[in-house]
């Protein structure tokens, strides 16, 4: 992609109405733009990151046999009345149609999914299975000041599993836990599996918490093992699992998993017939991952004072290629751009002619692609290119073939 | 995919509340489920079709340098007041937050996009460019009885182009027209480029209309050339372009393209500075494709009394593999399933053991995958498989290698 053609531009100044670092950097670099408190537009660079995050999540859900679906955002009022959440869910957006209908604007999808699946579940032979979707959710949040960490409109992957027994749910819950660990590892995040209160669902649930300074939650994690607990259920000076020292940190909840049991199959009378012909309520689990929150969390976890440092797996482009002026340098840069693309490497090519060297370097730090290659006068003299990883502070000069070999390993 | 694991099931009876053929077949086959009038859930098979349609649209928009973005569904009221459409757009869903905000729920995105891009457009050097998104739209439609052809919640690709001159818009408009023709051709549809009224935008616009019996529009198309005109602007006994005979048909509007000119850059004062430093309003074009309507239109255009006949490009799976009983037949079918998948061919494998041969064949006709392979006792005896295209009425028996070669050409 030619940077001159990108429909956004960077900004040196932080938006005045943003306090969260993730929003400041993402807006300055042109990844997103705030439409209102808690509502963001994803511009080309931001959409690529969101897509990359969602594709990793999708792959891991498919790996645990999740079947992808896509449910409406408009929900019938009757389903929310059935669970008592029409009045009981504070952040529910309600819509009145001019044709005298009332809708809920989906903040979560149990009320939509369970009546939908009822049509297809009859026998124990239809169980277990799980379905998931990646979708926009809407919540009328009181405060929305954390950039992409808490939105009124946000993106989420929600998966729901259906079982004939608690044992089947337990087994699947373990498999999803493992899949979630894969997701966060692939995204370059350290996520603690954290015991938390189950809210209205059950006594306990599990959250996946990523330690960041600006997180909305506080967790105690063990310095000796991988156990963590949300401060909402206990403080932990000494780990109850291994006796290790408990450490306190702010954290961002990027995923959660719940054993719903029959909480939603009860109000919708979702049943199956067992081998002896007896009817039982279906046992359910639910599994959320906030994909837009993940984008914000990745930025909170991977940045410095100059800008973002994207992990390879979610970077909008792998390489930032900078041509430091026109003429022969541009010709050489064009050739390198072609070589890299021919190898399937995604490149943002800063070929802008009216922008100074200093500005290009600042933009490159701000946008934060993993690899930077500079084509300068030095390249013409000694045939080498200045190469630097965004996450490292030093650069090296490499001849073209050595540089290409380097990327051969990444693509 | 093992059909026994698919979370949906087929139904022999049409839903009582569906009059549109596309909705009847898609619901019976388990692709979608109606949540309310004009609101549908996409189940695994349906989501795959929608995805395939949207990916084709995406590829063609990228081919005309469209930059993909993702805008919010919640829009600030002020933007809709600015264009006069807060009160002027009948089908606008309005939302009141408990925190005293009012939002529009996006039925289209001019009001959201133009203020967003204003931040990045300053000079003629920033033009032209185009951005697009594939997103859910919401319209409080009076009637929603045509299945996926008219929804209160529906999917759409909308693209917007920004130009410094009418000539630049005209040139891009032609390129998009060509891209649209590619989209519909790839989807297996005959779409007429149809002159229509410009609504509030301009005197004329162009629609892409697919002739189907259940279409909501009436067009007159020329039997001698490729010109068509919407009945809302004129009747056409004789083609005004070539003198050919005008033919009348019902049709579904699957795409439209408008020259917006300064309709939206005026209220938002979207300007650029030309080479002499003078300010001008930006010239815009907009280009829509209804992707969920396309799913319904494809079904209307490609079905028979037994079920759907999916075009290859959007079928949820390429092959329906039917094992007509267990034992040795199942073993042989398992092996063929593996062979096909190893060649990258997507297969729905009906390995259900408690379903009769007749039911399997009926389901296969209803679901409508392009290729059907039957493994039966005959396959054990003579080593051949019964092969039939859904769109054709006759089957042939082919030995395994010949069958695989056939699919080698398709994958």
Which residues of chain A neighbour B35 with C-beta distances below 8 Å? 71-72, 74-76, 112, 116
Range of the structural domain that residue B386 is part of:
317-408
Which residues of chain A neighbour B145 with C-beta distances below 8 Å? none
Which residues of chain A neighbour B8 with C-beta distances below 8 Å? 120
pLDDT value of residue B355: 93
Asked whether the ipTM of the predicted complex exceeds the cut of 0.85, the reply is: yes
Q: Are residues B267 and B358 in the same domain?
A: no
Q: Are residues A58 and A117 in the same domain?
A: yes
**What are the DSSP E strand ranges found in A262-370?**
271-273, 279-281, 283-290, 303-304, 307-308, 319-323, 347-350
Q: Are residues B62 and B116 in the same domain?
A: yes
* Total domains in the fold of chain B: 2
Q: In this complex, do B68 and A112 lie within 8 Å of one another by their Cβ atoms? A: no
3-class DSSP state of A145 = coil
* Closest by Cβ to B76, choosing from A35, A72, A95: A35
Which residues of chain A neighbour B291 with C-beta distances below 8 Å? none
* Closest by Cβ to B5, choosing from A112, A129, A153: A129
pLDDT value of residue A315: 98
From first to last of the 411 residues of chain A, give the pLDDT tens digit.
Answer: 999 999 999 999 888 888 899 999 999 999 999 999 999 999 999 999 999 999 999 999 999 999 999 999 999 999 999 999 999 999 999 999 988 889 999 999 999 999 999 999 999 999 999 999 999 999 999 888 899 999 999 999 999 999 999 999 999 999 999 999 999 999 999 999 999 887 655 667 899 999 999 899 999 998 888 789 999 888 888 888 888 899 999 999 999 999 999 999 999 999 999 999 999 999 999 999 999 999 999 999 999 999 999 999 999 999 999 998 888 999 999 999 999 999 999 999 999 998 998 999 999 999 999 999 999 988 888 788 999 999 998 999 999 999 999 887 544
Q: Are residues B241 and B373 in the same domain?
A: no
User: Stretch B6-33: mean pLDDT, rounded?
Assistant: 94
A12 found inside a domain: yes
Which residues of chain A neighbour B68 with C-beta distances below 8 Å? 44, 47
Q: In this complex, do B95 and A99 lie within 8 Å of one another by their Cβ atoms? A: no
Q: Are residues B300 and B321 in the same domain?
A: no
A391 found inside a domain: yes
- End-of-domain residue from the set B304, B330, B364: B304
* Closest by Cβ to A67, choosing from B44, B70, B101: B44
B311 found inside a domain: no
Separation in Å, CA of A70 to nearest CA in chain B: 5
Q: In this complex, do A50 and B70 lie within 8 Å of one another by their Cβ atoms? A: yes
Q: Are residues B219 and B255 in the same domain?
A: yes
Q: Are residues B239 and B371 in the same domain?
A: no
Q: Are the CB atoms for B327 and B354 separated by under 8 Å? A: no
From the CB of residue B387, how many other CB atoms can be counted at a distance below 10 Å?
A: 18
Which residues of chain B neighbour A43 with C-beta distances below 8 Å? 69, 116
Q: In this complex, do B142 and A69 lie within 8 Å of one another by their Cβ atoms? A: no
Q: In this complex, do B117 and A44 lie within 8 Å of one another by their Cβ atoms? A: no
pLDDT value of residue B409: 52
* Closest by Cβ to A71, choosing from B30, B36, B41: B41
Q: Are residues A282 and A368 in the same domain?
A: no
- End-of-domain residue from the set A304, A333, A353: A304
Separation in Å, CA of A222 to nearest CA in chain B: 39
Q: Are residues B321 and B294 in the same domain?
A: no
pLDDT value of residue A136: 98
B312 found inside a domain: no
B384 found inside a domain: yes
Determine the Cα–Cα distance for residues B248 and B256; give it in Å rounded to an integer.
20
Which residues of chain A neighbour B140 with C-beta distances below 8 Å? 97-99
Q: What is the CATH number of the domain that holds A181?
A: 3.30.930.10
* Closest by Cβ to B116, choosing from A4, A33, A95: A33
Which residues of chain B neighbour A114 with C-beta distances below 8 Å? none
Q: Are residues B248 and B131 in the same domain?
A: yes
Give the helix/strand (H/E) hosting A294. helix A291-301
Residue B153, pLDDT > 50, answer yes
Q: What is the CATH number of the domain that holds A327?
A: 3.40.50.800
Q: Are residues B224 and B122 in the same domain?
A: yes
Which residues of chain B neighbour A46 with C-beta distances below 8 Å? 70
pLDDT value of residue B410: 47
pLDDT value of residue A191: 94
pLDDT value of residue B200: 56
**What are the DSSP E strand ranges found in A276-383?**
279-281, 283-290, 303-304, 307-308, 319-323, 347-350, 371-375
A380 found inside a domain: yes
A166 found inside a domain: yes
Q: In this complex, do A69 and B42 lie within 8 Å of one another by their Cβ atoms? A: yes
**Model confidence over B180-213: pLDDT tens digits?**
999 999 999 999 999 988 765 566 789 999 999 9
Q: In this complex, do B70 and A93 lie within 8 Å of one another by their Cβ atoms? A: no
Separation in Å, CA of A242 to nearest CA in chain B: 41
Q: Are the CB atoms for B105 and B95 separated by under 8 Å? A: yes
Give me the residue label for tokens 């010949």: B402
- End-of-domain residue from the set B278, B304, B330: B304
- Tokens coding B58: 């995406």
Q: Are the CB atoms for B375 and B385 separated by under 8 Å? A: yes
**Model confidence over B75-133: pLDDT tens digits?**
999 999 999 999 999 999 999 998 888 999 999 999 999 999 999 999 999 999 999 99
* Closest by Cβ to B153, choosing from A73, A116, A138: A73
Separation in Å, CA of B139 to nearest CA in chain A: 10
Separation in Å, CA of B219 to nearest CA in chain A: 30
**Model confidence over B334-355: pLDDT tens digits?**
999 999 999 999 999 999 998 9
Q: Are residues B205 and B258 in the same domain?
A: yes
Q: In this complex, do B7 and A101 lie within 8 Å of one another by their Cβ atoms? A: no
- Tokens coding A229: 């607990």
pLDDT value of residue A411: 42
Q: In this complex, do A70 and B131 lie within 8 Å of one another by their Cβ atoms? A: no
Give the chain B residue nearest A68 (alpha carbons). B44
Q: In this complex, do A69 and B39 lie within 8 Å of one another by their Cβ atoms? A: no
Determine the Cα–Cα distance for residues B183 and B185; give it in Å rounded to an integer.
6
Going by C-alpha positions, the residue among A331, A318, A334, A332 that lies closest to residue A408 is A318
* Closest by Cβ to B95, choosing from A71, A105, A354: A105
pLDDT value of residue B226: 77
Q: In this complex, do B97 and A95 lie within 8 Å of one another by their Cβ atoms? A: no
Q: What is the DSSP letter of A384?
A: E
B268 found inside a domain: yes
- Residue B411: which pLDDT band, with cuts at 50, 70 and 90? very low
Q: What percent of chain B lies above the pLDDT cut of 90?
A: 82
Separation in Å, CA of A194 to nearest CA in chain B: 31
């Amino acid at each position: 992609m030619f940077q001159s053609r990108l429909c956004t531009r960077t900004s040196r100044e932080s938006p005045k109405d943003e306090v969260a670092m993730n929003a400041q950097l993402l807006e300055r670099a042109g990844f997103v733009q705030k439409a209102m408190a808690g509502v963001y537009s994803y511009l080309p660079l931001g959409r690529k990151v969101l897509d990359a995050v969602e594709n990793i999540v999708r792959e891991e859900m498919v790996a645990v046999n999740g079947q992808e679906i896509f449910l409406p955002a408009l929900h019938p009022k009757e389903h929310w009345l059935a669970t008592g959440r029409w009045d009981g869910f504070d952040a529910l957006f309600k819509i009145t149609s001019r044709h005298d209908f009332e809708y809920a604007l989906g903040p979560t999808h149990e009320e939509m999914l369970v009546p939908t699946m009822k049509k297809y579940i009859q026998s124990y032979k239809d169980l277990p299975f799980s379905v998931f979707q990646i979708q926009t959710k809407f919540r009328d949040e009181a405060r929305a000041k954390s950039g992409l960490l808490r939105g009124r409109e946000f993106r989420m992957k929600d998966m729901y599993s259906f079982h004939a027994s608690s044992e089947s749910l337990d087994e699947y819950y373990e498999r999803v836990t493992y899949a979630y660990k894969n997701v966060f590892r692939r995204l370059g995040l350290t996520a603690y599996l954290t015991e938390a209160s189950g809210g209205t669902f059950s006594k306990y649930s599990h959250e996946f918490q990523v330690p960041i300074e600006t997180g909305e939650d506080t967790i105690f994690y063990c310095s000796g093992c991988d156990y963590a607990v949300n401060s909402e259920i206990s403080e932990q000076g000494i780990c109850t699992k291994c006796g290790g020292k408990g450490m306190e940190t702010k954290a961002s909840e990027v995923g959660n998993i719940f054993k719903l049991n029959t909480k939603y199959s009860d109000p919708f009378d979702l049943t199956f017939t067992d081998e002896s012909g007896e009817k039982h309520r279906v046992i359910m689990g639910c599994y959320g991952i906030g994909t837009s929150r993940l984008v914000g969390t990745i930025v909170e976890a991977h940045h410095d004072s100059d800008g973002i440092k994207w992990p390879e797996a979610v970077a909008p482009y792998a390489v930032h290629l900078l041509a430091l002026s026109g003429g022969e340098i541009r010709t050489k840069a064009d050739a390198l751009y072609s070589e890299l693309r021919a190898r399937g490497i995604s490149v943002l090519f800063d070929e802008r002619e009216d922008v100074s060297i200093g500005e290009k370097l600042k933009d490159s730090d701000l946008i934060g692609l993993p690899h930077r290659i500079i084509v300068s006068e030095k390249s013409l003299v000694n045939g080498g290119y200045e190469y630097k990883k965004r996450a490292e502070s030093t650069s090296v000069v490499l001849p073209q073939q050595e540089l290409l070999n380097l990327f051969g390993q990444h693509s």
